[in-house]
Amino acid sequence: MTRYNPKETEPRWRKAWDDAQSFRTRTPAEAGDKPKAYVLEMFPYPSGRIHVGHVRNYAMGDVVARFKRAQGFNVLHPMGWDAFGMPAENAAMERGINPKAWTYENIAAMRDQLKMLGLSIDWSREFATCDRAYYGRQQRLFLELYKRGLVYRREATVNWDPVDHTVLSNEQVIDGRGWRSNALVEKKKLTQWFLRITDYADALLDGLKTLEGHWPDKVRLMQENWIGRSKGLRLSFRLAEPAPAAFEALEVYTTRPDTLFGASFLAVAPDHPLAEALAAQSADVAAFVADCRRGGTSEAEIEGAEKKGYDTGLMVEHPFDPAIKLPVWIANFVLMEYGAGAIFGCAAHDQRDLDFARKYALPVHPVVLPNGADATTFDVGAEAYVGPGRIFNSRFLDGMEIEAAKVAAIARVEEQGQGEGATVYRLRDWGVSRQRYWGCPIPIVHCLKCGPVAETRLPVDLPDDVTFDVPGNPLLRHPTWKHTTCPTCGGAAERETDTLDTFVDSSWYFARFTDPDAEPPIDREAADYWLPVDQYIGGVEHAVLHLLYARFITRALKDDGVLGVEEPFAGLFTQGMVTHETYRVMANEPRFVSPAEVEQQNGALVEIATRLPVEVGDPIKMSKSKKNTVAPEDIFATYGVDAARLFVLSDSPPERDVQWTEAGVEGSWRFVNRVWAEAEAAAEAVQIDADEAQTVALRRATHKLIKAVTEALSSFRFNAGIAQFYGFLNTLKRLDKADLAQRRAAVQTLIVLINPIAPHLAESAWEKLGGTGMVVDAPWPVYDPALAMDEVLTLPVQINGKRRGEVFAPPGASQADVEAIAMADEAVMRHLEGVTVRKVIVVQDRIINIVAN
């Protein structure tokens, strides 16, 4: 017996697959009537090295792709690089390396590492988003959208990342900090390019319903909340005299028109045009507005932020009774970007309004009476009442339920011509301008005569000769690049120096993969054949970023006729992270040390170099700063790729985090060797026909395995599937009497089943057993349902719900038979002494429960 030797076998099989072009995508013609399956993992950013998280992500995708292949699907399983972005520029600034050279070197290094994983990828389709061939075509798509009016430019208050010197989208601001730099984001006014994602708010929201059951509920819910559709009323309050010129009325948005009679004030955002107009005339107002701007947006600041207001002295008339006058305030808690940038405050039924009213001694008028409360005594204290009830103190709305009152109030306002029912969204348009070099140049030329015009001379190339010695956008200060002529009038003009958010790059790459050599950005025929992606796999961190943008771009391109599908990803799976314990040496200066720097000593961990004791922390996401990372190459060198693939899939359900442990990989490595040992042993035997010569027990065990593994792999329960293999090996051991020839047939089936998970091992074992060709081409086994169950079932017998014994019966035995067998059981009879049987429940092939007392 020899030990399995991954160092020898793994490279050999990768070359064999390569030579045989095993993973070349078949054309639709070649595929014939085979159904297609597009399996895709979120493409990586080329940081330079793969980490264990990549191993898990791509191992999962590979299992699905190989499984589908074996099941007879025509599979597309490509790989590429999300290659634009900040780190390349940071490397340039820190180390003086050219971003392009840095990126392509990283791609080369990571490609080698990824190839080591033995993925069933069609590498001939590989591209990087920073390839001229890709971003040039992206510019063409951008101009398509521009022509359709989905691109516009406006001055906007933007999220400015002071560290990365660029604008961030709302989606990229996490707790008030930049998602990459972690710097506190500032508000800044800049002229920016936007994509009209809000035009698609309803479509994107409604489209989520079609993904039900195919996308995680969590992700659909997050997108739903992010889009944040709310139905309400826009209405205008007439300003009472004297009002500033140009402000005859003040528009507000509300979702609670039923509480209009409870209004006690109006409030506008500090950056509302009215507030700005007043600030221009009054130093007091200006000071207040400036004070509001200083407030940060971080969690802690919002939590502790006090409601602040400034009474403008202006009054408005209530739409239902001009005699009722309400004061107009400027309030720090009103957001300009949402609704109308102004609200009416109903203190009794909104907590924020109540807090504000209490602070500034504004009146509180309850208008919703909780069921069972007394109208003459009901009042709110420190807590606003937001529950159900009937409207009161509200004239024509009195006595109505909340929903009925909303309808009635909206109808009255519309009738008066003072407003209309409206739907507003939390979602804002997607700001795509980035003041960075390493991205796709926005193909627009600014002409003094013509204004901004589409650049027709595509692609707009990124210049290679740029400098990073000072912060800011190198394109802006490049001596010649931006100077050009107007494509319309031929006069002198300047190029747009902003580049596109890299999330634009990843919003259509999956379509480009369907024909990466096509002259148009997307070959409609290829895209129609392959799209949508049948199974997309990636991290949940993209739930509202990439996954929302890609859905938007797909819909926009469909409306352009460029694509034929509305949803890019028919199935989505979000995998969990790989975690590791943290190790810390508690010296004078406590410091983290890496798993490679510690070892066991007398049952405790010590740092190898210093022998100092190591404190073990909870498993958390692997990160450089916590030093709790392991290098995939080291694992591959010690245990082989297949043991690593097995481990990342075996210990936890794939959607949950998995904790990387040395002991766990060793377990997988043991398993690899057990399979290999079985193959070696079985290879000594002659080949037989399993159906004719195998014992029934072994045949049944084999068919049960096929059934269980097929079901596990179909439903992303890889951990449960792998457990089946362990169980099967244990069964083989117990059936030791079965002769080797019989086992050989069983092992052969196991090899085909394990191929998607441990492909190198499977090929080696297949070869050892003299299988035809390579196992990569072997069809998926089919089980016989009649054989995939036990010959005799063990049925527990309960008496009054407590398990008192077990009896044996063949599957499908009649209720009467099973009951008779149970009643004759010795243990059962003993427990039934002295009591009367009232009822016997027999669940077919499951259980017997006897009710007795």
Taking CB under 7 A as the criterion, which residues in 151-180 touch RNA?
170, 174
Cβ contacts of 193 within 8 Å, gap of 6 or more: 151, 152, 153, 431, 432, 433, 442, 444, 496, 498
Total binding residues toward RNA, as defined by CB under 7 A:
87
Per-residue string for binding with RNA, 416-455, x by CB under 7 A?
A: --------x-x-----------------------------
Which of 317, 558, 727, 832 contacts RNA by CB under 7 A?
Answer: 727
CB of 343 to RNA, least distance (A): 4
For the segment 317-376, give every residue that binds RNA (CB under 7 A).
332-343, 350, 352
The strand pair at 173-174 and 177-178 is best described as: antiparallel
- Which residues in the 637-666 window bind RNA by CB under 7 A? 650-653, 656-659, 661, 663-664, 666
Beta partners for residue 234, in sequence order: 253, 420
3-state secondary structure of 409: helix
Order of strands, sheet of 535-539, starting from the edge strand that comes earlier in the sequence: 74-76, 36-41, 535-539, 572-575
Min dist CB 441 to RNA, Å, is: 29
Among 206, 299, 420, 461, binds RNA (CB under 7 A): 299
Q: Binder to RNA among 108, 133, 221, 448 (CB under 7 A)?
A: 221
294 is a contact residue toward RNA (CB under 7 A): no
- Tell me the window of 250-258, 278-286, 625-633, 776-784 that interacts with RNA (CB under 7 A): 250-258
Q: What is the DSSP letter of 568?
A: S
Least separation in angstroms between residue 397's CB and RNA is: 16
Q: How far apart are CA 546 and CA 196, in angstroms?
A: 16
The single residue among 36, 238, 307, 626 that binds RNA, judged by CB under 7 A, is: 307
Min CB(75)–RNA separation in Å: 24
What whole-number distance in Å separates Cα of residue 130 and Cα of residue 132? 6
Please identify, among the stretches 75-83, 202-210, 218-226, 688-696, the one whose residues bind RNA according to the rule CB under 7 A.
218-226
Q: Give the residue with the Cβ less far from RNA, 498 or 651.
A: 651
Residue 79 vs 809, nearer CB to RNA: 809
Quick one: which of 19, 33, 94, 303 contacts RNA (CB under 7 A)?
303
Q: Which of residues 70-129 bind RNA (CB under 7 A)?
A: none
Q: With contacts defined by CB under 7 A, name the span among 38-46, 213-221, 456-464, 499-507 that binds RNA.
A: 213-221
Q: Select 209 or 839, whichever has its Cβ closest to RNA.
A: 839
Q: What Å distances lie between residue 575 and 17, 41, 124, 319, 360, CA to CA?
A: 27, 10, 27, 53, 50
Select from 531, 530, 534, 621 the least CA-distant residue to 575: 621
Site for RNA in 498-517 (CB under 7 A): none
623 lies in the binding site for RNA (CB under 7 A): no
Residue with tokens 């049952």: 603
Q: How far is the CB of 430 from RNA (least distance, A)?
A: 14
Q: How far is the CB of 94 from RNA (least distance, A)?
A: 28
Question: Hey, what are 668's tokens?
Answer: 């997988």
Least Cβ distance, residue 280 to RNA (angstroms): 22
By CB under 7 A, what part of segment 773-812 binds RNA? 794, 796, 798, 800-804, 806
**Residue 828: CB minimum distance to RNA, A:** 10
**Residue of 7, 24, 148, 218 interacting with RNA (CB under 7 A):** 218
SS3 per residue for 43-109: CCCCCCCCCHHHHHHHHHHHHHHHHHHHCCCEEECCCCECCCCHHHHHHHHHHCCCHHHHHHHHHHH
**Residue 843 binds RNA (CB under 7 A):** yes
Span 522-551, contacts to RNA by CB under 7 A:
540, 543-544
**How near is the Cβ of 222 to RNA at its closest, in Å?**
4
Spatial separation of the C-alpha atoms in residues 348 and 351, rounded to whole Å: 8
CB neighbourhood size of 241 (10 A) = 7
Report 264-293 residues binding RNA (CB under 7 A): 269
Complex with RNA: residue 414 or 666, whichever CB lies closer = 666
Instruction: Please select the residue that binds RNA; options are 730, 810, 811, 824, rule is CB under 7 A.
Output: 730
**Binding to RNA by residue 209, rule CB under 7 A?**
no
Minimum distance, C-beta of residue 713 to RNA, in the bound complex (Å): 12
Distance CA 83, CA 43 (A): 9
Compare residues 518 and 735 and give the one whose CB is closer to RNA: 735
The two three-digit tokens of residue 16, written as one number: 């064999």
Minimum Å gap between C-beta 714 and RNA is: 11
Instruction: Give the nearest distance from C-beta 337 to RNA in angstroms.
Output: 7
Q: What CA–CA distance (Å, rounded) separates 595 from 651?
A: 19
Torsion of Cα atoms, 804 then 809 then 811 then 812, to 10°: -90
Least separation in angstroms between CB 267 and RNA: 8
The reply on whether position 631 binds RNA by CB under 7 A is no
Distance between CA atoms of residues 5 and 8, nearest Å: 6
- DSSP helix/strand/coil, 15: helix
Taking the least distance from each CB to RNA, the nearer of 118 and 664 is 664
Query: E strands along 125-203, which residues?
Result: 151-161, 166-168, 173-174, 177-178, 186-195
125: its two tokens: 């389709």
**Which is nearer to RNA, 561 or 801 (by Cβ)?**
801
Amino acid occupying residue 669: W
Q: With respect to RNA, which residue has the nearer C-beta, 591 or 846? A: 846
Supply the minimum distance, in Å, between the C-beta of residue 600 and RNA.
9
Q: Determine contact, residues 85/102, Cβ cutoff 8 Å.
A: no
The closest of 620, 572, 558, 501 to 42, measured between CA atoms, is 572
Kindly report the CA angle at 295 between 294 and 301, in degrees rounded to 5? Answer: 150
Residues 6 or more apart in contact with residue 588 via CB below 8 angstroms = none
Q: Please tell me whether residue 305 binds RNA under the rule CB under 7 A.
A: yes
Specify whether the CB–CB gap between 319 and 235 falls below 8 A. yes
Binds RNA by CB under 7 A, chosen from 81, 134, 194, 226: 226
Instruction: Output the DSSP codes for 606-638.
Output: EETTT--BEEEEEEEE--TTTT----HHHHHHH
- Of the residues 295, 452, 613, 617, which one makes contact with RNA according to CB under 7 A: 295
Q: Give the whole-angstrom CA distance, residue 381 versus residue 387.
A: 15
Helix axes 662-683, 740-754, angle to 10 degrees: 140
Which structure tokens are listed for 527?
């895209």
Q: Which of 20, 302, 324, 616 binds RNA (CB under 7 A)?
A: 302
Q: 259 — phi, psi (to 5°)? A: -105, 20
Q: Which stretch binds RNA (CB under 7 A): 139-147, 303-311, 463-471, 526-534?
A: 303-311
Place of tokens 């709305």: 397
Please give the structure tokens belonging to residue 465: 């000769």
* Nearer CB in complex with RNA: 334/475: 334
- Does residue 827 interact with RNA by CB under 7 A? yes
For the CB of residue 553, give the shortest distance to RNA in the complex, in Å: 20
Applying CB under 7 A, does 139 fall inside the site for RNA?
A: no
Least distance to RNA from the beta carbon of 412, Å?
17
| Interacting residues with RNA between 699 and 718 (CB under 7 A) | 715, 717
We find the least distance from the C-beta atom of residue 802 to RNA, in angstroms, to be: 6
Lookup result for tokens 């991954």: 6
Backbone angles phi, psi at 567, to 5 degrees: -115, 130
**Which residues from 454-473 bind RNA, rule CB under 7 A?**
none
User: 390 and 369 in contact (C-beta within 8 Å)?
Assistant: yes
Shortest reach from residue 187's CB to RNA, in Å: 12
Structure-block tokens of residue 814:
């009649």
